[in-house]
Structure 1
Amino acid sequence: MSEESQFCTFYLAGLFFGVQVTKVQEVIRYQETTPIPLAPATVSGLINLRGQIVTAIDLRRVLGLEDRPGDMRPMNVVIHTDEGAVSLLVDKIGDVLHADVDSFERIPDTVRGVARDLILGAYKLTDKLLLVLDTDRIVEPESAM
Structure 2
Amino acid sequence: MLAEFKTFVLRGNVLDLAVGVIIGGAFQKIVNSLVNDIIMPVITLITGGVDFTSHFLALDGGQYADLAAAQAAGTPVLCYGAFITQVIDFLLMAAVIFALVKGMNTLAARTLKRKEKEAAVTQKTCPYCLSKIPLKATRCPCCTSHLEE
Name the TM tier (shorter chain).
under 0.3
In proportion to residue count, which structure has more strand? 1
Pick 1 or 2: higher relative contact order, CA cutoff 8 A, min separation 6: 1
Q: Which has the larger radius of gyration?
A: 2
What TM-score, normalized to structure 2?
Answer: 0.20
In proportion to residue count, which structure has more helix? 2
